[in-house]
Chains A and B, each alone.
Chain A
Amino acid sequence: SQKIEQNSEALNIQEGKTATLTCNYTNYSPAYLQWYRQDPGRGPVFLLLIRENEKEKRKERLKVTFDTTLKQSLFHITASQPADSATYLCALGLLSGNTPLVFGKGTRLSVIA
């Protein structure tokens, strides 16, 4: 069956460390993968997109990798801050254009000062 798994429901790390969140999928062939941030009681906010032919993308303190052989994406936040505490969602895009995204359950990250 098709699955998207974000391995940790919750992750606690110390301020200043690098947070690494994982997104694994089975029986999908995504054309791209997106990461979103969601704060409590708010809608998700788009962070980064990585396509199947890209290995890595960076945006400020954020880095995303995409390994289609391992069927895995890693999302890194370097020099983490308490303000980074939120739930992070990965989403698979199965085709370019208007095919709806498929979301994982999310990982709740807490950065402790």
Chain B
Amino acid sequence: ETGVTQTPRHLVMGMTNKKSLKCEQHLGHNAMYWYKQSAKKPLELMFVYNFKEQTENNSVPSRFSPECPNSSHLFLHLHTLQPEDSALYLCASSQVPGDSAGELFFGEGSRLTVL
């Protein structure tokens, strides 16, 4: 399998549930990202990991908890979410540093609905 794979593709959860989104990249990249995409808004960067170390946390509420056990896997743990957290959550990877100019490779996204 190649590219960036996200599971599940669709998730419906109640506000009291705990769930996790998973991302796996098969590109040998050393940086991974979580983005949130809501209707009529730009992509919002949530978290960045370089070489498994978190380098950005873009003022994301603590109900979102990332985990990066190795440079190929990234998780987003979800608990006590709000309906406004319903969105498409996109994982991406890139090769940094170098001359790549940060081209991102995205997964297909996980569509989250919070009831």
Chain A interface residues (CB < 8 Å from chain B): 4, 9, 31-32, 34, 36, 41-46, 49, 51, 89, 91, 93, 96-106
Contacts and interface: CB of A to CB of B under 8 A. Distances in A.
19 contacts: A34-B104, A41-B88, A43-B107, A43-B109, A44-B43, A44-B104, A44-B106, A93-B102, A97-B96, A97-B98, A98-B97, A98-B102, A99-B102, A100-B48, A101-B102, A103-B43, A104-B42, A105-B42, A106-B42
A100 B48 CA distance: 8
Contacts of B107: 43
Contacts, number: 72
Interface in B1-60: 4, 6, 31, 33, 40-43, 45, 48, 50, 55-56
A43 B4 contact: yes
B42 A51 contact: no
Given A97-B97, A100-B45, A100-B48, A49 B109 contact: no
